Amino acid sequence: MKSVHEALQVIARAAGLPSLDLNADGFAEIVLGGNLLSLYFYHADESQIEISARIVGLEGSMDDTLAVQLLTENGQRDLGRFSGLEDGGVVLGHRIELGFETPASLIDTLNRFTREALTLERDGATALRARAEQHRAPADLPTEAFLRL
């Protein structure tokens, strides 16, 4: 695959859309299942496209403990990485180098990413918060204890 435009047209055909084009900010969006999940496509550069999905199940949960858990999860993930947004939201994103993709492999990657985002949205957000809570320091310990050694 040679360009973001070509990749977007492959995605559009697979989604049953006549076309998929970037807006003035370099983004395109597909909404799945009514409002089940929005997939965003960003023109990273002419040979790379970033796909992302906001994980609504983690909205309003961002604190230091969850941020550390998300960073830990990033180190263990094969597909996608978590990012925090200024408004407290969490996004799962994945960058695709188009030079290594065929139409079939692009759609396979997109399907795997979509399944992962839907799983996180359905029940993974609860599991991530639970793992973060397991690692939360007890309230009676100072949060900067190791910085003062």
What percent of the chain stands above pLDDT 90?
Answer: 47
Give the pLDDT score at 148: 45
Residues 70 and 82: beta-carbon distance below 8 Å: yes
What percent of the chain stands above pLDDT 70?
Answer: 86
Structure tokens at 42: 């960003």
Give the pLDDT score at 137: 52
Give the pLDDT score at 10: 95
Query: From residue 88, how far is each of 10, 16, 67, 76, 108 by CA, in Å?
Result: 33, 33, 10, 23, 30
Low-confidence ranges of the chain (pLDDT < 70): 124-125, 131-149
Give the pLDDT score at 149: 43
Tell me the C-alpha distance between 10 and 5, whole Å.
9
Give the pLDDT score at 77: 83
Task: Please state whether beta strands 37-45 and 48-54 pair in parallel, antiparallel, or not at all (unpaired).
Answer: antiparallel
Give the pLDDT score at 36: 83
Give the pLDDT score at 145: 47
Structure tokens at 112: 């795997």
Give the pLDDT score at 143: 54
Whether the CA torsion 73, 80, 51, 17 is positive or negative: it is negative
24-49 as b/e, with b when 16 or more CB fall inside 10 Å?
eeeebebeeeeeebebebbbeeeeeb
User: 19: part of which helix (H) or strand (E)?
Assistant: none
